[in-house]
Amino acid sequence: MGVGICTVVVLRNVFVAAHQVLGWAVAAAVTAALLDPVVRLLDRTMPRALAMAVTFLFVVALAIGLTSLYTSSVLQEVDRLQEQGPAVAEQIEARTDRIGALARDVGLVDQVKELTDRLDARVGSGGDAVRSAALSAPAYFVAMILTIFLMIYGRRMIDGAVAQLPPARRGPARRSVTEATRRAQLYIWASIGQAAVVGVVIAVAGTFLEVPAVGLIALFGALASLVPFVGIAVGWIPVLLLGLGTAPGREVLVLALIAAAMQVAEAVWVRRWVDRRSLHVGPAVPVVVAIVAYVVYGLGGALYGCALAVFALALADQLAPGDPLPTPVDDGDRS
């Protein structure tokens, strides 16, 4: 009993002390797994070293572009939302229909003010974002080197780990890891594609409704759509809510029907297509993992944590019911 408690305390202290380094390692492993299909695709027409270089140059350019977009656009839209959001909420409360009465009952203006204040405090200013990016540059560099290392030697490391198992279990273990990785890659890339589509549609809808901070709202919608079965509907809520104060009700109703159709299409057709080719993931796992990882590592940790959870589910899915987990020691091999 005492040994178990001491072990838990030691492991907890080790995790607290090394959680940042562990986060880098997890992020590098997930990134390497996601970029591997891209490198293999380019490898068909060019040497692998050149394919890796092209891939990483694209990733670095994309990261710089997103950081620049964040500092120049998203932060400004947070300020715009903080300024205009309460005014839009006041217009909604001023409505004489049932929607206005409901908004007054929940104190929509106060809720919007509190939300925008928290959002502004969370994202900080443009200078804070630039300083944070500069201070994080060494960590990004280390993670990039580790990602390259894993892409070069990752398969050898997996083969070395599998080689520690009894001969009878090496083949099934290798097939399980390979298939789980393939299914997780397909699921994650399909989710990224869906998020991009949802974000673009919400951005167009927000522009049509003339709501403030369209880019920020579209980013929220894209991230929310990563939650299966309910995420698209949740992602549409801000643009529809703000639209009630900036556009006629019939236009908001039409877009609400479009949002409902997108959610139904995702649940009925897209999910089935993805499930047949990768694996089934319900909404509970991404939500729980995202909340826990966000508290520890922030938004990036939430995204990488969900990706890691998808791989864990894919690996568990490869184990037939009742099959024991592979272990280095097998009773049949003992003498």
Which residues, at least 6 apart from 13, have a Cβ–Cβ distance to it below 8 Å?
none
Domain co-membership, 204 together with 253:
yes
Domain co-membership, 122 together with 177:
no
pTM assigned to the model: 0.80
Which among 112, 147, 164 is the end of a domain?
A: 164
Question: In this structure, is residue 44 part of a structural domain?
Answer: yes
* Radius of gyration for the alpha carbons in the chain, expressed in angstroms and rounded: 24
Residue type, 204: V
Q: How does pLDDT run across 233-292, given as a tens digit for each residue?
A: 999 999 998 888 888 889 999 999 999 999 999 999 999 999 999 999 999 999 999 998
The residue to which tokens 């950081």 are assigned: 67
pLDDT at 256: 94
Question: In this structure, is residue 82 part of a structural domain?
Answer: yes
Question: In this structure, is residue 327 part of a structural domain?
Answer: no
Question: In this structure, is residue 5 part of a structural domain?
Answer: no
Alpha carbon distances (Å) from 24 to 21, 28, 57, 323: 5, 6, 20, 33
Six-digit token string for 287: 């939500």
Q: Which of 227, 288, 281, 300 is nearest to 30 (CA)?
A: 300
pLDDT at 9: 52
Domain co-membership, 86 together with 40:
yes
pLDDT at 3: 58
Interatomic CA distance for residues 6 and 12, integer angstroms: 10
Interatomic CA distance for residues 136 and 128, integer angstroms: 12
Long-range (24+ apart) CB contacts under 8 A made by 135-142 are: 139/20, 139/24, 140/63, 142/24
Domain co-membership, 183 together with 114:
no
Question: In this structure, is residue 2 part of a structural domain?
Answer: no
Q: How does pLDDT run across 20-42, given as a tens digit for each residue?
A: 667 777 888 888 888 888 888 88
The helices-and-strands tally (H runs, E runs) of the chain is 13, 0
Q: Which residues of the chain have pLDDT under 70?
A: 1-21, 66-75, 120-140, 320-335
Q: Range of 266's domain?
A: 172-319
Question: In this structure, is residue 181 part of a structural domain?
Answer: yes
Let me know how long the chain is. 335
Number of structural domains in the chain:
2
